[in-house]
A and B are shown apart, each in its own frame.
Chain A
Amino acid sequence: MITVENISKYYQRQTILHDVSFSLNEGEILGLLGPNGAGKTTLMRIINQIVVADKGHITFEGNLMQEKHLLEIGYLPEERGLYQSMSVEHQISYIGRLRGMSKTDTKSQLNYWLEKFGIQAWRKLRIEELSKGMAQKVQFICAVLHEPKVLILDEPFSGFDPINIELIRQELLEFKKKGHAIIISTHNMNSVEEICDRAILINEGHKLLEGNVHEIRENHKEGIYKISFTGNMIAFANALWAGYEIIDKEIHGDDDFSVYLKMRQGNEINDLLNAVINEVKITGVETVMPSMEKVFVKTINAEKEIPHE
Chain B
Amino acid sequence: MNKIILIARREVLERFSTRSFKWLMIIGPLLILGLVYLFLSTTTSSKKNWKVLIMDKKEIFDGKLTPSKPKNLTFDFINAFVEYDDFAQNEKYKDYDLAVQINEKILSNKHVIVSYKERPPENIQRHLIYFVERRLEEILVDQFTDLSVDRFRDIKQSLKFNLKDANDPRDEKSTTASWVGFGFGLLIILFVFMFGMTVLRSMAREKSNRIVEVLLSSVKARQLLTGKMLGIGFSALIQFAVWTAIIGFGLYVFRLTLFPDMFSAGFVADAVEQESLISELSNQSPFVELIYSQIHYTNMLIFFTLFFIGAYLFYGSFFSMIGASMGSESDGQQFVIPITMLLFMAVLSGYYHVYYPGTVLSDWLSFIPFTSPMVMMIELSNGFEDGSAWQLFLALLILFVSAIGMMGLAGRIYKNGILRFNHRLKLKMLIKWTKK
Which A residues contact B (CB, under 8 angstroms)?
A: 45, 48-51, 67, 70-71, 73, 75-77, 79-86, 94-95, 97-99, 139, 142
Question: A45-B419, A85-B17, A94-B6 are known contacts. Are A70 and B218 too (CB-CB below 8 A)?
Answer: yes
**Chain A to chain B contacts (Cβ below 8 Å), 24 pairs:** A48-B217, A50-B213, A51-B419, A67-B220, A70-B218, A71-B218, A73-B217, A75-B217, A77-B213, A77-B217, A79-B213, A80-B210, A81-B209, A81-B210, A81-B213, A81-B214, A82-B209, A85-B18, A97-B6, A98-B7, A98-B215, A98-B218, A99-B218, A142-B214
Cα(A75)–Cα(B10), bound, Å: 21
Question: A45-B419, A98-B3 are known contacts. Are A81 and B212 too (CB-CB below 8 A)?
Answer: yes
Collect the chain B residues with CB atoms within 8 Å of residue A45's CB: 213, 419
Question: A94-B6, A97-B6 are known contacts. Are A81 and B217 too (CB-CB below 8 A)?
Answer: no
Q: Is B216 at the interface (CB under 8 A from chain A)?
A: yes
Taking a contact as CB atoms under 8 Å apart, the answer to whether A98 and B209 are in contact is: no
Question: A81-B206, A85-B14 are known contacts. Are A95 and B214 too (CB-CB below 8 A)?
Answer: yes
Cα(A47)–Cα(B212), bound, Å: 16
Collect the chain A residues with CB atoms within 8 Å of residue B212's CB: 81
Please name 4 further chain A to chain B contacts, defined as beta carbons within 8 Å, in addition to the given A83-B209, A83-B211, sorted by A numbering: A49-B217, A81-B206, A81-B212, A98-B7
Chain B nearest CB from A120 CB (Å) reads: 23
Q: Which chain B residue has the least Cβ–Cβ distance from A44?
A: B217
Cα(A45)–Cα(B17), bound, Å: 32
Cα(A235)–Cα(B14), bound, Å: 76
Cα(A222)–Cα(B215), bound, Å: 46
Chain B nearest CB from A106 CB (Å) reads: 11
Cα(A45)–Cα(B420), bound, Å: 13
Collect the chain A residues with CB atoms within 8 Å of residue B211's CB: 80-83
Collect the chain A residues with CB atoms within 8 Å of residue B419's CB: 45, 50-51
Per DSSP, chain B at the interface is helix
- Encoded as 1 (CB less than 8 Å from any A CB) or 0, chain B from 179 to 218 comes to 0000000000000000000000000001001111111111
Taking a contact as CB atoms under 8 Å apart, the answer to whether B10 and A77 are in contact is: no
Interface residues on B, range: 20 to 34
Question: A79-B210, A82-B211 are known contacts. Are A95 and B17 too (CB-CB below 8 A)?
Answer: no
Q: Which chain A residue has the least Cβ–Cβ distance from B415?
A: A52
Cα(A294)–Cα(B387), bound, Å: 83
Collect the chain A residues with CB atoms within 8 Å of residue B217's CB: 48-50, 70, 73, 75, 77
Cα(A191)–Cα(B7), bound, Å: 36
- Encoded as 1 (CB less than 8 Å from any A CB) or 0, chain B from 236 to 269 comes to 0000000000000000000000000000000000
Question: A81-B206, A85-B14 are known contacts. Are A98 and B213 too (CB-CB below 8 A)?
Answer: no
Q: Is B219 at the interface (CB under 8 A from chain A)?
A: yes
Collect the chain B residues with CB atoms within 8 Å of residue A83's CB: 14, 209, 211
Taking a contact as CB atoms under 8 Å apart, the answer to whether B218 and A95 are in contact is: yes
Q: Which chain A residue has the least Cβ–Cβ distance from B211?
A: A81
Chain A nearest CB from B7 CB (Å) reads: 8
Taking a contact as CB atoms under 8 Å apart, the answer to whether A50 and B216 are in contact is: yes
The 8 closest A-B pairs by CB, nearest first: A81-B211, A81-B210, A75-B217, A79-B210, A81-B209, A98-B218, A77-B213, A48-B217
Cα(A73)–Cα(B216), bound, Å: 12
Most A Cβ at <10 Å: residue of B7, B14, B211, B216: B211
Q: Which chain A residue has the least Cβ–Cβ distance from B3?
A: A98
Q: Which chain A residue has the least Cβ–Cβ distance from B206?
A: A81
Taking a contact as CB atoms under 8 Å apart, the answer to whether A94 and B10 are in contact is: yes
Collect the chain A residues with CB atoms within 8 Å of residue B6's CB: 94, 97-98
Chain B nearest CB from A70 CB (Å) reads: 6
- Encoded as 1 (CB less than 8 Å from any A CB) or 0, chain B from 1 to 27 comes to 001001100100010011000000000
Collect the chain A residues with CB atoms within 8 Å of residue B206's CB: 81
Taking a contact as CB atoms under 8 Å apart, the answer to whether B14 and A77 are in contact is: no
Cα(A247)–Cα(B57), bound, Å: 129
Most A Cβ at <10 Å: residue of B7, B17, B210, B213: B213
Most B Cβ at <10 Å: residue of A71, A81, A95: A81
Taking a contact as CB atoms under 8 Å apart, the answer to whether A84 and B209 are in contact is: yes
Collect the chain B residues with CB atoms within 8 Å of residue A79's CB: 210, 213
Collect the chain A residues with CB atoms within 8 Å of residue B215's CB: 98
Collect the chain A residues with CB atoms within 8 Å of residue B17's CB: 85
Which of A51, A76, A98 is the one whose CB lies under 8 Å from B219?
Answer: A98
Cα(A71)–Cα(B219), bound, Å: 10
Collect the chain A residues with CB atoms within 8 Å of residue B220's CB: 67
Chain A nearest CB from B278 CB (Å) reads: 49
Collect the chain B residues with CB atoms within 8 Å of residue A85's CB: 14, 17-18
Cα(A58)–Cα(B217), bound, Å: 15
Collect the chain A residues with CB atoms within 8 Å of residue B214's CB: 75-77, 80-81, 95, 139, 142
Collect the chain A residues with CB atoms within 8 Å of residue B219's CB: 98
Q: Which chain A residue has the least Cβ–Cβ distance from B14?
A: A85
Chain A nearest CB from B423 CB (Å) reads: 11
Collect the chain B residues with CB atoms within 8 Å of residue A77's CB: 210, 213-214, 217
Cα(A193)–Cα(B213), bound, Å: 28
Collect the chain A residues with CB atoms within 8 Å of residue B213's CB: 45, 50, 75, 77, 79, 81
Cα(A84)–Cα(B6), bound, Å: 18
Q: Which chain A residue has the least Cβ–Cβ distance from B221?
A: A50
Cα(A50)–Cα(B415), bound, Å: 9
Cα(A75)–Cα(B215), bound, Å: 10
Q: Which chain A residue has the least Cβ–Cβ distance from B13?
A: A90
Cα(A76)–Cα(B217), bound, Å: 9
Cα(A45)–Cα(B174), bound, Å: 62
Most A Cβ at <10 Å: residue of B209, B216, B217: B217
Chain B nearest CB from A50 CB (Å) reads: 5
Cα(A209)–Cα(B159), bound, Å: 98
Chain A nearest CB from B9 CB (Å) reads: 9
Chain B nearest CB from A264 CB (Å) reads: 52
Cα(A305)–Cα(B419), bound, Å: 33
Q: Which chain B residue has the least Cβ–Cβ distance from A80?
A: B210
Cα(A94)–Cα(B10), bound, Å: 8
